[in-house]
Structure 1
Amino acid sequence: MKTIYFNHDGNIDDLVACLLFLQAPDIKLIGVSAIDADGYVDPAVEVCRKLTDRFNLRGDQLEIAKSNSRAVNQFPEDWRKAAYSFNYLPLLNRSGKVITKMADKPAHLDMVEKIMASEQPVTLVMTGPLTDLARALETNPQIADNIEKLYWMGGSLDGHGNVVQVNADGTQEWNAFWDPFALETVLKSSIPMQVIGLESSEELPLTDELRMHWASLSEHPAMDLVAQGYCLLVNPPIPTAQLYFWDVLTVISALYPGVVLTTEKHKVRVITQGLAAGRLEDDPAGREITLVTKADKNLFFKKFDELLLRS
């Protein structure tokens, strides 16, 4: 049984990822925290508390931690608003109350506390910037010894990014760009890393066919919530770009490693200064990561449906 800590940055796919962890069998979820990045942190934390109230099938004793980390480069405001809309969805508010508590400590200290207290090595899953992990490592470097593996959605090694603004050259991915220095800190650690980059989920686009599939299963509460949530995603990272299941693949690959068909070993470094800040690039002297290069589309959506239909 895997012991998992989940840290995310509060947009729709992150919140869906949290829901999947709450629904998954045969794991122990010891912590959930949100950082103020792709989604505003206050509604993101509140959504996770409500999700835990409604969908915590295993009954894990959870508190939701709020990060106090701050951006080097903040996400565009228009992308971040979706967490507020998700928080107002009726299914999350029928009880009229929130029972699951906020953690007393900020996310990076909550991470240290939960990981150090775990009797089993922890699988750490992060679908946002790595700042809370970097700060946790700076607070207590020994947590690296109790992290079995880090699954991170971030970066790109094929030359294309999703940052389009005047202080970036477009070669970087947003979770890396949000805080390149945090990524540099984590790369200096000994924690094994499996990276789901922008190029990792090209078999897994968000399509109208999928939306109709979810609509046909709307009698199932978790499926209905996901269908409504993805209706809020109208602005992809680049206006003409396709949205993919980057964060959800990260979660499902941690739960079901067989979803990943192929990977590549790369030695990498991150650029921290200038217009290329946040760019991951190959470097023979760099830190080794495992980059996901292909996923099993059929198995991915099979597991996605299985988890959501458990409610």
Structure 2
Amino acid sequence: MSKLVLLDHDGAIDDILATLLLMTMPNVEVLGIIVTPADCYINAAVNVTRKLLDLMECHHIPVAESTVRGIHPFPALYRRDSLIMDNFPILNQEDTLKTPLLSQTGQQFMVETLHRASEPVTLMVTGPLTTVATALDIDPTIEGKIKEIVWMGGALNVAGNVEKEFAPEHDGSAEWNAYWDAIAVERVWQSNVPLILCSLDITNTVPVTAEFIRKLAKQRQHQLSDLAGLCYALAIPQDYYCWDVLATSYLHRSDLFSLKEWETEVMTTGSSQGRIKVVEKGRKILAMETVDRDEFHNYILQQWSQF
């Protein structure tokens, strides 16, 4: 049976590559894609998403733009990648877009999609949790329609990636998706929806390397590998990891991962805003603890060589 999935991403390089991977999964039925205006410029991120779906002949999948806002904006240096990807030649071979952009907001689309679904839906979230939190506020009954939330976010037992350069009053303990809107994270933590985290604890073990990009280059006859290589090449001057791609791979290849349960709380104020702290008697979550890195790399190379 197919797994019903609703994707909520925020338009960065790894979000687009996570979308690329999700569309290749044989056991997944994607009900739609929501773009949250966080680590991107929203118009460009929506364009890239629709162009990607057109390229993969998945233009039956609707796209919706979330109108939520976070507390701490992502740096412009990070967000500009969406503008660059929007001008990739491989994504601009056609003059018109076939993939529909819905008139309703992403948060309303989430509510309606969950209610229409024939069974509980997995929310695959590769950006902040603000759209999910807003949807829960709009209609708390959707909680029963969510099978689980798989989220790329948080840092449990490692340092965060919020740098002093961009957040001088922060202590560096938070991961960016959580820091963007810690109050939204806390709102989701207050729900009873099962949470599976792909935190920095595991993504730190899977960096994007020049060696891996060269492996993609050897598959250039495949459009998806070529596109993935272009995207990752944008990131090579900085420390970059397979954040969202790793998280999304769990939907199809959970066998590559081990999980561990933690009790946690969310810090919503002060210099640790966005930190997900391990505490006794806290909110129980599951976190991806280990991954077979070599097999993960083989898996995404295989998936991206299908088209």
TM-score tier after normalising by the smaller chain length? over 0.9
Alignment of 1:73-222 (within 5 A): 73-164=72-163, 165-222=167-224
C-alpha contact (below 8 Å) 1:30/1:60 kept by paired residues? no
Q: Report the counterpart of residue 259 of structure 1 in structure 2.
A: 256
Q: Give the whole-Å Cα distance in 2 for the aligned partners of 1:185 and 1:26.
A: 30
Alignment pair present for 1:290 and 2:286: yes
What SS does structure 2 have at the residue aligned with 1:200?
helix
Q: Give the whole-Å Cα distance in 2 for the aligned partners of 1:287 and 1:125.
A: 20
What SS does structure 2 have at the residue aligned with 1:232?
helix
What SS does structure 2 have at the residue aligned with 1:23?
coil
CA shift, 1:60, in A, is 6.9
C-alpha contact (below 8 Å) 1:129/1:175 kept by paired residues? yes
Q: Give the whole-Å Cα distance in 1 for the aligned partners of 2:28 and 2:198.
A: 21
Q: Give the whole-Å Cα distance in 2 for the aligned partners of 1:221 and 1:307.
A: 12
C-alpha contact (below 8 Å) 1:35/1:128 kept by paired residues? yes
CA shift, 1:263, in A, is 1.9
Deviation by residue 1:207-265 (Cα, 9 ceiling, x = unmatched): 111111111111100000110111112554xxxxx3211110110012211121x2211
Deviation by residue 1:268-307 (Cα, 9 ceiling, x = unmatched): 1111011111111012232100011111112211221121
Alignment pair present for 1:15 and 2:6: no
Following TM superposition, where does structure 1 have runs of at least 4 consecutive aligned residues deviating by more than 2 angstroms?
none
C-alpha contact (below 8 Å) 2:68/2:131 kept by paired residues? yes
Q: Report the counterpart of residue 32 of structure 2 in structure 1.
A: 31
Paired residue type of 1:306:
Q
Q: Give the whole-Å Cα distance in 1 for the aligned partners of 2:215 and 2:278.
A: 40
Alignment of 1:221-240 (within 5 A): 221-234=223-236, 236=238
Aligned length: 303
Alignment pair present for 1:268 and 2:286: no
| Greater shift in the superposed pair: 97-106 or 147-156 | 97-106
Deviation by residue 1:107-144 (Cα, 9 ceiling, x = unmatched): 11111111110002111100110000000001111111
C-alpha contact (below 8 Å) 1:30/1:61 kept by paired residues? no
Q: Give the whole-Å Cα distance in 1 for the aligned partners of 2:67 and 2:204.
A: 33
Paired residue type of 2:240:
L
What SS does structure 1 have at the residue aligned with 2:280?
coil
Paired residue type of 1:24:
M
Deviation by residue 1:146-167 (Cα, 9 ceiling, x = unmatched): 1111100000011401111212
C-alpha contact (below 8 Å) 1:201/1:295 kept by paired residues? no
CA shift, 1:100, in A, is 0.8
What SS does structure 2 have at the residue aligned with 1:231?
helix
What SS does structure 1 have at the residue aligned with 2:30?
strand
Q: Give the whole-Å Cα distance in 2 for the aligned partners of 1:210 and 1:190.
A: 39
Q: Report the counterpart of residue 6 of structure 2 in structure 1.
A: 5
TM-score normalised by length of structure 2: 0.96
Paired residue type of 1:136:
A
Aligned-pair identity in percent equals 32
C-alpha contact (below 8 Å) 1:28/1:60 kept by paired residues? no
Paired residue type of 1:215:
A
C-alpha contact (below 8 Å) 2:59/2:100 kept by paired residues? no
Q: Give the whole-Å Cα distance in 1 for the aligned partners of 2:130 and 2:85.
A: 24
What SS does structure 1 have at the residue aligned with 2:202?
helix
Deviation by residue 1:58-85 (Cα, 9 ceiling, x = unmatched): x573111111111100111111000111
C-alpha contact (below 8 Å) 1:200/1:295 kept by paired residues? yes
CA RMSD of aligned residues (A): 1.3
